[in-house]
């Protein structure tokens, strides 16, 4: 079956336009379509032979096409990611980085690749500070700048994943994405909206303006129009032909470094954008390396939970929170949802206190991964939870140098988490007929990244370096250092039961990624919800701040009211009401059922709904 989806809709739209004197009648929709499964966004798909879940119908269709061709989960994951670079260019692409987690069915082992961006060798420690002050620029100015661009890791991640575990060539897996970039996709409301929200950030950069604001008066592409990215198709073709050295060496590398260094810039705090110019060189690109990393691991009530080790804080923070929660036997409290969620919120706050104190790039700072994931440490941290009342936030970090699991330890110094991470990124989950599984989160950080398109190349550069703490402090594990990876929250997670995959999941959402993954695990494992309900349920995120950030539906639910009135949790509605930011995360998951049957699950509503597909559907 050929790949369809938004691309098919684009072709249909083009035909409609050619016979209707240019006027767009009945614009083809990305979200509705023919009876073919691959043209529709379906949040759940059950069946055999491999599966995928992403936020986008074209990306999911690309993965299915590759699986049907005989490719494995790794091939299909790269195909989906490359397609997301076309259809979700503001969330992810080769201008960014990410974390790739892989379960190998043959060896029954989980492996990971750290494809996080790095700071250039000449990165100044005061990169985001207003000249002559000790204060950081406004976040938007930091983010819209050459100085925020980290050396991208995504191209190297694809190459490494394919080399270690893939079965098809880079050219084969880039093929569907090249088609989508060439034929175009139909612009939907989300794409137009994201473009408009970024208009002032995109305008200073000529190549960005030309690509994403092509209309009269620099209007964003209209809903229903076809968006083609021929430059990106050409870039993918180059990589398909030459391999990823073409990204990190030679002409393209030269252009990336020049674009970063010569990007329009301003040090005047009164000019809202752009911010400072970058310092990246071709040597920085040439020196970039992805890292093969051991995953983090905790045993949560008989489930083996594998996650991403530092430089992401995802694996340790989710893992520590689970160790804390293990102490409480949540399933016994299952009928008292508010009580279970109270423990979830409190455990999360404690794990975030430790994240703020201890987490950074382990190549530069000592990260006590073993201690943070030690069940004895978790047990001692659990002592801090009052089963009846929410603690005052921020709660202090624990002391990894001195613990014994007993409930009489003085906490270490207070540590708060100021959160400047943004809420966009993308996540995908893929499995194949051999039982291999990929969980992959990738990002260019902020929606629209740095706003800087590499001229003629069709992709946006990240602003990942804003994930460093902007103000330098010697005691901060996430302080800016040249060559370092900024701390991430990305939490691609694979859960095994008796050495077999049980569940794979992940989400975008800055530091709420951690709580989205944690809450979904609690919903599924402890509250016994089905995976589709666990994922769709209203979300709340306690990251050691005075207020719990929560979706309105969580605040309004009976348990939400009880958490406020009985336990004393204070809620703040996520984002601005009425905007998509009022949502937390956009998760994807696959659950592994009996007899090789799988259920792929995407968001039914958040971000306009995601797309789950299987190779052979069944009921």
Nearest distance, CB of residue 295 and ligand GLU, angstroms: 17
> What does DSSP say about strands 303-307 and 493-497: parallel, antiparallel, or unpaired?
antiparallel
Binder among 425, 493, 541, 580 for ligand GLU (CB under 6 A): 425
- What are the distances in angstroms from CA 31 to CA 14, 42, 106, 268, 605? 17, 9, 37, 44, 12
Binder among 445, 551, 591, 603 for ligand GLU (CB under 6 A): 445
Query: Does 443 sit near ligand GLU (CB under 6 A)?
Result: yes
- What are the distances in angstroms from CA 476 to CA 66, 414, 479, 487, 524? 44, 13, 5, 11, 35
Catalytic residue among 154, 425, 520, 549: 425
Secondary structure of residue 501 in the 3-state scheme: strand
Which of 287-295, 381-389, 420-428, 589-597 is the region at the interface with ligand GLU (rule: CB under 6 A)?
420-428
Query: Does 58 sit near ligand GLU (CB under 6 A)?
Result: no
Nearer to ligand GLU among residue 459 and residue 567 (C-beta): 459
Query: Does 488 sit near ligand GLU (CB under 6 A)?
Result: yes
Rounded-to-integer distance, Cα 66 and Cα 297, Å: 30
Nearer to ligand GLU among residue 284 and residue 467 (C-beta): 467
Rounded-to-integer distance, Cα 492 and Cα 306, Å: 9
Query: Does 423 sit near ligand GLU (CB under 6 A)?
Result: yes
Q: What is the largest CA-CA distance in the chain?
A: 78
Write out the H or E segment, with its range, that includes residue 429. strand 426-432
Environment class of 391 (CB within 10 Å of its CB; exposed 0-12, middle 13-18, buried 19+): middle
- Alpha helices by DSSP H, listed for 19-153, are 57-68, 73-87, 139-143
Write out the H or E segment, with its range, that includes residue 505. strand 500-506
Write out the H or E segment, with its range, that includes residue 180. helix 170-183
Nearest distance, CB of residue 90 and ligand GLU, angstroms: 11
Nearer to ligand GLU among residue 421 and residue 591 (C-beta): 421
Closest CA to 276 of 153, 182, 145, 180: 145
Q: Any bridge partners for residue 494, and if so which?
A: 306, 504
Rounded-to-integer distance, Cα 383 and Cα 263, Å: 51
Q: Any bridge partners for residue 207, and if so which?
A: none
Nearest distance, CB of residue 583 and ligand GLU, angstroms: 12
Query: Does 327 sit near ligand GLU (CB under 6 A)?
Result: no
Query: Does 424 sit near ligand GLU (CB under 6 A)?
Result: yes
Rounded-to-integer distance, Cα 444 and Cα 446, Å: 6
Nearer to ligand GLU among residue 28 and residue 490 (C-beta): 490
Nearest distance, CB of residue 580 and ligand GLU, angstroms: 12
Nearer to ligand GLU among residue 384 and residue 439 (C-beta): 439
First-to-last alpha carbon distance for the chain, in angstroms, is 20
Binder among 9, 372, 504, 513 for ligand GLU (CB under 6 A): 513
Query: Does 469 sit near ligand GLU (CB under 6 A)?
Result: no
Nearest distance, CB of residue 37 and ligand GLU, angstroms: 29
Nearer to ligand GLU among residue 278 and residue 396 (C-beta): 278
Lookup result for tokens 């250092």: 481
Query: Does 503 sit near ligand GLU (CB under 6 A)?
Result: no
Which of 358-366, 449-457, 507-515, 523-531 is the region at the interface with ligand GLU (rule: CB under 6 A)?
507-515
Query: Does 509 sit near ligand GLU (CB under 6 A)?
Result: yes
| 316 classed as catalytic | no
Query: Does 508 sit near ligand GLU (CB under 6 A)?
Result: yes
- C-beta of residue 489 within 8 angstroms of C-beta of residue 313: yes
Which of 119-127, 296-304, 421-429, 522-530 is the region at the interface with ligand GLU (rule: CB under 6 A)?
421-429
Binder among 33, 184, 510, 608 for ligand GLU (CB under 6 A): 510
Rounded-to-integer distance, Cα 513 and Cα 285, Å: 28
Nearer to ligand GLU among residue 73 and residue 513 (C-beta): 513
Nearer to ligand GLU among residue 208 and residue 447 (C-beta): 447
Query: Does 514 sit near ligand GLU (CB under 6 A)?
Result: no
Query: Does 373 sit near ligand GLU (CB under 6 A)?
Result: no
Nearest distance, CB of residue 320 and ligand GLU, angstroms: 17
328: Cβ–Cβ under 8 A, 6 or more apart, which residues? 343, 382, 385, 387
- What are the distances in angstroms from CA 53 to CA 3, 50, 80, 229, 306? 15, 11, 9, 24, 19
Query: Does 421 sit near ligand GLU (CB under 6 A)?
Result: yes
Ramachandran angles phi, psi of 226, nearest 5°: -95, 125
User: What does R_g of the chain's alpha carbons equal in angstroms?
Assistant: 23
Nearer to ligand GLU among residue 265 and residue 466 (C-beta): 466
Which of 207-215, 361-369, 450-458, 483-491 is the region at the interface with ligand GLU (rule: CB under 6 A)?
483-491
Which of 77-85, 133-141, 417-425, 530-538 is the region at the interface with ligand GLU (rule: CB under 6 A)?
417-425
- C-beta of residue 96 within 8 angstroms of C-beta of residue 154: yes
Binder among 490, 563, 602, 615 for ligand GLU (CB under 6 A): 490
Rounded-to-integer distance, Cα 219 and Cα 438, Å: 38
Number of residues that bind ligand GLU (CB under 6 A): 16
Interacting residues toward ligand GLU by CB under 6 A: 421-425, 443, 445, 464, 467, 488-490, 508-510, 513
Which positions are catalytic?
A: 425
């Amino acid at each position: 079956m050929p790949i369809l989806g938004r691309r098919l809709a684009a072709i249909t739209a083009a035909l409609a336009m050619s016979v209707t004197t240019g006027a767009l009648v009945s614009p083809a929709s990305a979200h509705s379509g023919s009876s073919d499964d691959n043209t529709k966004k379906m949040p759940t798909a059950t069946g055999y032979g491999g599966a995928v879940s992403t936020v986008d119908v074209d990306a999911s269709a690309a993965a299915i096409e590759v699986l049907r061709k005989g490719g494995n989960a790794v091939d299909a994951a790269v195909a989906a990611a490359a397609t997301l670079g076309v259809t979700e260019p503001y969330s992810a692409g080769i201008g960014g980085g990410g974390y790739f987690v892989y379960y190998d069915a043959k060896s029954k082992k989980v492996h990971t690749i750290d494809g996080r961006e790095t700071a250039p060798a000449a990165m100044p420690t005061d990169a985001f500070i207003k000249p002559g002050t000790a204060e950081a620029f406004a976040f938007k100015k930091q983010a819209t700048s050459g100085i925020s661009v980290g050396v991208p890791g995504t191209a190297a991640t694809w190459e490494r994943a394919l080399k270690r575990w893939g079965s098809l060539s880079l050219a084969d897996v880039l093929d569907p994405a090249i088609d989508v970039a060439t034929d175009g996709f139909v612009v939907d409301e989300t794409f137009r909206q994201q473009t408009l929200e970024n208009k002032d950030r995109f305008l200073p950069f000529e190549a960005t303006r030309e690509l994403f604001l092509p209309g009269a008066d620099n209007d964003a592409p209209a809903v229903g129009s076809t968006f083609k990215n021929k430059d990106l198709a050409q870039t993918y073709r180059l990589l398909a032909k030459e391999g990823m050295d073409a990204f990190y060496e030679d002409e393209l590398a030269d252009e990336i470094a020049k674009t970063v260094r010569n990007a329009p810039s301003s040090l005047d705090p009164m000019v809202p954008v752009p911010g400072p110019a970058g310092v990246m060189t071709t040597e920085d690109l040439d020196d970039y390396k992805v890292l093969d990393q051991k995953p983090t691991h905790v045993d949560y009530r008989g489930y083996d939970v594998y996650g991403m080790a530092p430089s992401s804080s995802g694996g340790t923070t989710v893992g520590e929170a689970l160790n804390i929660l293990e102490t409480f036997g949540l399933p016994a409290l299952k009928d008292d949802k508010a009580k279970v969620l109270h423990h979830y919120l409190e455990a999360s706050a404690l794990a975030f206190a430790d994240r703020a104190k201890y987490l950074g790039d382990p190549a530069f700072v000592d990260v006590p991964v073993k201690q943070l994931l030690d069940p004895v440490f978790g047990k001692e941290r659990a002592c801090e939870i009052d089963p009846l009342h929410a603690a005052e936030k921020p709660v202090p970090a624990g002391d990894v140098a001195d613990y014994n699991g007993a409930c009489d330890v003085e906490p270490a110094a207070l540590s708060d988490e100021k959160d400047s991470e943004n809420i966009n990124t993308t996540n995908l989950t893929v499995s194949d007929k051999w039982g291999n599984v990929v969980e992959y989160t990738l990002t260019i950080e902020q929606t629209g990244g740095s706003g800087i398109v590499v001229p003629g190349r069709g992709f946006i550069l990240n602003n990942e370096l804003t994930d460093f703490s902007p103000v330098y402090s010697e005691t901060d594990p996430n302080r800016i250092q040249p060559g370092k990876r900024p701390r991430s929250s990305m939490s691609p997670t694979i859960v095994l039961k008796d050495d077999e995959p049980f569940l794979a999941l992940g989400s975008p959402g800055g530091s709420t990624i951690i709580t989205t993954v944690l809450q979904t695990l609690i919903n599924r494992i402890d509250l016994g919800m089905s995976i589709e309900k666990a994922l769709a349920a209203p979300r709340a995120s306690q990251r050691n701040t005075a207020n719990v950030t929560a979706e309105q539906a969580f605040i309004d639910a009976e348990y939400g009211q009880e958490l406020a009135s009985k336990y004393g949790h204070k809620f703040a509605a996520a984002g601005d009401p009425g905007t998509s930011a009022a949502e937390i995360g956009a998760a994807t998951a696959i659950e592994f059922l009996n007899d090789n049957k799988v259920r792929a699950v995407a968001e039914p509503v958040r971000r306009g709904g995601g797309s789950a597909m299987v190779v052979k559907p069944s009921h």
